[in-house]
Amino acid sequence: MAILNIIKEGDPVLRKKCRPVEEITPRILQLLDDMHDTLEKAQGVGLAAPQVGVMRRIVIVEIEDKKYEMINPEIIETKGKQEEIEACLSVPEKFGLVKRPQWVKVRATDRNGKVYEVSGNGLMARCFCHELDHLDGTLYIDKAIEMYDADDIEDAE
């Protein structure tokens, strides 16, 4: 397993649309494992393949003691609205107020090639939306109503 370099805002890779995964190969499985290690070290809740320089439609989310590996994920249903503060491992020391659905349902393929659906509410819904946006070259800062520096957030606490 390896800790991968997380690409930061300004790198054009983060603005590109990812290609679907056609076949789950040993290389894809290794990428999933490395992404989990990288996310754990960075202490984040989600990571998309383009954030580590791989232009494939792969996302991992680790939230509420559950780990989701999503290959070729797509949001198939949404409900409600929420406005909350978001951050991103690729945009360090910045935060933004973003509007997202309150609830989402995602269809994806797991590492064994099985298609599954998962739904999430609140933070999980935000995380799913945030990570899937990365696959189309969109960062949360593109959708933010307001942006804050880390100092602004600390002052508010």
- Using the predicted structure, report yes or no on whether residue 153 has a pLDDT greater than 80: no
Please tell me the distance from the alpha carbon of residue 2 to that of residue 131, in angstroms, as a whole number: 21
pLDDT for residue 64: 82
Strand 46-48 with 82-88, pairing: unpaired
Catalytic, out of 9, 40, 131, 146: 131
pLDDT for residue 81: 98
- Give the tokens for residue 44: 């984040």
pLDDT for residue 154: 59
- pTM of the full structure: 0.94
> Is residue 131 among the annotated active site residues?
yes
Give per-residue pLDDT as tens, 62-82. 998 899 999 999 999 999 999
Among the four given CATH numbers 3.40.50.970, 3.90.45.10, 3.30.70.360, 3.40.50.300, the one describing domain 12-156? 3.90.45.10
* Higher-scoring residue by pLDDT: 150, 86: 86
Give per-residue pLDDT as tens, 30-60. 999 999 999 999 999 999 999 999 999 999 9
Strand order through the sheet with 115-121: 46-48, 58-63, 66-79, 103-109, 115-121
- Using the predicted structure, report yes or no on whether residue 99 has a pLDDT greater than 90: yes
